[in-house]
Amino acid sequence: MYNSSETSTRIRQLAKAKGIQMAELQEKCGLSKNTIMQSGKSQEGMKAKNLYAIAELLECSVDYLLGRTDNPNETGISVTDNNQMSLTGNNSISVNSAVPNKDTLTEQFMQKFEQLDFDDKVDVMQYVKNKK
């Protein structure tokens, strides 16, 4: 289960270990002054785009920040279906080009999917997962 306090703690600890001040981290990620502290007190936590920006700056996975894994360089989820889609530890999502028996519609989907930004890819994957 998501724990916004744990996410805030992990961000602070990792930033400290990398010698990054919280004010600097928040500024570089385009966050307001107390965003991380406030999100730690909130049940809602942070927006995906903010977590992604922080993970990029701290060179870790979003799943690590969310407490889904204890390894900063790997994801704690597996969003795969016959290796057709994968979520990797470097916060990128791609569609495997080795999908068998691709028809024209599948090819078009894969091309459009690759053009999406990270948050939109996650939204598409969650939508597909919930349709099963």
Distance CA 109, CA 112 (A): 5
Number of domains in the chain: 2
Distance CA 2, CA 67 (A): 7
For residue 118, report the phi and psi dihedrals to the nearest 5 degrees: -55, -50
Say if CB 11 and CB 58 are below 8 A apart.
yes
pLDDT at 4: 86
One domain, residues 98 and 51: no
pLDDT at 92: 54
- Say what the pTM is: 0.57
One domain, residues 8 and 54: yes
One domain, residues 102 and 57: no
- Provide the residue range defining the domain that includes 111: 85-131
Distance CA 126, CA 120 (A): 10
pLDDT per position as a tens digit, 69-121: 888 876 655 544 444 444 444 455 555 554 566 678 877 887 887 788 877 87
pLDDT grade, residue 27 (50/70/90)? very high
One domain, residues 10 and 60: yes
Identify the DSSP state of 101. S
Distance CA 127, CA 2 (A): 20
Identify the DSSP state of 81. S
- Tell me what percent of the chain is helix, strand and coil, each rounded to the nearest 5: 55, 5, 40
